[in-house]
Amino acid sequence: MWFALPSASEEVDEKEGTVNRRQFFSSTAATAANRLLCGPSMPGQSIGDHEAVDWLAWQLWQNRKDELDPSRIPQPIAYRLNTHPHVLRTADGAYRFTDPALTDVLVAHRVFGDIAQGSGHLLATAQTSHATDLTISALAAENEQARRGLTAWMRSGATAVLRVNSAGILAKVGAADLGDAAISAIRSDQDARHLYVTAVASRVLELPWGQAADLSGATNTQAADWTLGEGHDTKTWASRRLADELANNRDAAARWCSAVLLANCVDAEDMRMRSALMLAVRNEPCRENLRAYAAVLAGATPL
């Protein structure tokens, strides 16, 4: 991102520090995005520029791409994008943001605006990314109505995408009770669990989405294929990456998914992995994750 979060090691009261970081993240993201889109350097009709970049961000997010072919962009929008200082053209003429993180910020604010009005329509459009969830969770942390809506959709949303997106946001708010609720929901919801484990496998193990989905499906049978790709074809590399994810204090459910994946690849004799799991046990605030780590240490699956 173009801004930095406060250091987690700052000597402040833990509760006050958490609130301050949330407020900083949400307010800075909103201010930075607004400055980029509607700053003084923009032409007089800045609302048109705002709508154009918002449209581009939405298309990039829905298509899981970093750039968009010009043939897919309506002419009025292309006209605005051509002069926007934070949109560039590639050698092939495709449109992209100068900073890819803009996609996550703009999509997150658009989706949260819908959530805050009690609607899950946009949240059900496509599975959100880890970065998008982090921005939405920072906004939801200070909005009780949004948290209530997300909790209801997580448990009884009409689609698996709506349920997994809601769980993913709540799991990143930073509250242990919400983390436990999100983990419980995805553990008992096979479709949502498959999507969440797929997302974690893709991000942490650097896998294409299809291969990550295959790996996620195999966790139910403990017959996973750990041929991960060039340079990463061993269970040892995978288990170390997943063990590192256990220290991700910004996503309780990702830690649980990592434990599920670890149960399929960890070597019971690998003392480095056991040490990482024991360290995770000492630092873990969520009950559901403590149970998952204990299961992996015992050679069982957390499912």
Mean pLDDT estimate for the chain: 82
Considering only CA atoms, which of 166, 118, 135, 146 is closest in space to residue 57? Answer: 135
Considering only CA atoms, which of 118, 117, 69, 120 is closest in space to residue 95? Answer: 69
pTM attached to this predicted model: 0.77
Is pLDDT of 25 > 50? no
The band of 224, judged by pLDDT with boundaries at 50, 70 and 90, is low
Helix, strand or coil, per DSSP, at residue 30: helix
CB-based contacts of 99, cutoff 8 Å, min separation 6: 1, 2, 86
Mean pLDDT of 227-233: 52
The band of 303, judged by pLDDT with boundaries at 50, 70 and 90, is confident
Please give the pLDDT value at position 110.
92
CB-based contacts of 156, cutoff 8 Å, min separation 6: 163
Spell 51-72 as b/e; 16+ CB within 10 A means b.
Answer: ebbbbbbbbbbeeeeebbebee
Please give the pLDDT value at position 46.
44
Is pLDDT of 38 > 60? no
Answer left, alpha or beta for residue 42, where phi above 0 means left and psi between -120 and 50 means alpha. Answer: beta
* Range of weakest confidence among 91-100, 116-125, 137-146, 225-234: 225-234
Is pLDDT of 262 > 70? yes
Please give the pLDDT value at position 41.
36
DSSP state of 223: -
